[in-house]
Amino acid sequence: MSTGGVYGAPKYWPVDEAHPFQPPLDLYSKSKSEAERLVEAGSKKGLRTTIFRPTAAYGPRSTYIAGMFYSLPALLKFWNLAVPRIAGGPPMNLVHVDDVAGAILFAIENEKTVGEGYILAEESIISVGEFFDIVVDVFKLRTRGKVWAPAPLISLTGRLGLLLPSWLMLDPLERWLKNQWDEVVTANHLEPVLKPQIARDALGFLIGPHAYTSKKLRDAGYQFRHPVFAESFPAVAAWYREKKWIP
């Protein structure tokens, strides 16, 4: 299991398997890039391998991604803050955990996948603004106005975030958010599973387009169970509410 981050800041989109590898933007992607080199070296010596490069995965039971995408909107709802709609932003897509697991099972059962590498991503490609619109609607957040977010500005924000040391901004902000989240957990009698996270490595996702295509995997015969984020995300959020992980 690698990551789409091994392609670095994409030269074109949607990114496919023919896209050249470029220097990864974050430490997580760098570690995956090095791991791929080791796996490929083993493959040349007879190790049977299949490499998957997923984009950001979401779904039930997640705590890492959920700490960013679910607890933060829940905090805004708890504070009853009105947030602006976001228009524009770079294109992106995600992948449901069911399809990550499904693709692995597909590879195990199909000899033709041995020695191949596949991108894992939903078919639907949305802008960052459209992604936030979906989150806002699912969490029923109050909104006020609209902010235009050009892709170059969002990319610049991501690059600055990666350059600044975590202790300067991200760490203090994350500690404060975790204290606030404890109040939400107590007030709503939630299971204390999630914690708000602002992962520094996730900032690389803001740099340039992060839109991928899984055409190669689909052509091999795999059928995605969750091709459209807007259709799948509400059920995921409902799972977290049912389990009392979010209000």
Residue 23 has pLDDT above 90, yes or no: no
CATH number of the structural domain spanning residue 219: 3.40.50.720
pTM: 0.90
Question: Is residue 177, in this structure, part of any structural domain at all?
Answer: yes
- All residues at 6 or more sequence positions from 173 whose CB lies less than 8 Å from its CB, including other chains: 198
Measure the CA dihedral 176/180/182/188, to 10°: -170
Tally of structural domains, the chain = 1
Domain around 48? 4-239
Question: Is residue 245, in this structure, part of any structural domain at all?
Answer: no
Sign of CA dihedral 133, 139, 144, 150: negative
As a whole number of angstroms, the distance between CA 187 and CA 91 comes to 37
Q: What is the mean pLDDT of residues 205-226?
A: 92
Q: What is the mean pLDDT of residues 180-200?
A: 90
Question: Is residue 119, in this structure, part of any structural domain at all?
Answer: yes
Q: How far is CA 162 from CA 23, 53, 82, 158, 167, in A?
A: 14, 22, 28, 6, 12
Residue 206 has pLDDT above 80, yes or no: no
Question: Is residue 246, in this structure, part of any structural domain at all?
Answer: no
Neighbours of 21 (CB within 10 A): 11
pLDDT of residue 57: 94
pLDDT tens per residue across span 136-179: 999 999 999 998 888 788 788 877 877 777 766 678 888 899 99
What does the DSSP 8-state code read for residue 6?
A: G
As a whole number of angstroms, the distance between CA 177 and CA 94 comes to 25
The closest of 8, 215, 235 to 121, measured between CA atoms, is 215
